[in-house]
Amino acid sequence: MSSSTQLTGEQRYQIQAYRKAGSNQTQAACELSVHQSTIARALSRNRGQRGYRPRHAPARCERRRIESD
């Protein structure tokens, strides 16, 4: 019954822009029409020492997928 979709690359870069502009997760979620938890997961899973890096998200996702098998 749940319908989940992955964030697009454009959405990931928009999250980064919202964060740099000082928006919180709830505001970013509203602007992107996704649930706040989607933003929270994206930020927590793709945050490195230098902060949120949307460019690295697909590679990190693939690495997690491989490690889970």
Region for 9 from its dihedrals, namely left if φ exceeds 0, alpha if ψ lies in -120 to 50, beta otherwise? alpha
pLDDT band at 1 (very low <50, low <70, confident <90, very high): very low
If residue 48 lies in a helix (H) or strand (E), which one and from where to where? strand 47-48
The string of pLDDT tens digits covering residues 3-51 is: 667 899 999 999 999 999 999 999 999 999 999 999 999 998 888 788 8
R_g of the chain, CA atoms, integer Å: 12
Residue 18's CB: how many other CB atoms inside 10 A?
19
Contacts of 47 (CB under 8 A, 6+ apart): 53
Position 65 confidence tier, pLDDT thresholds 50, 70, 90: confident
With CA atoms as reference, report the closest residue to 15 among 43, 37, 41: 43
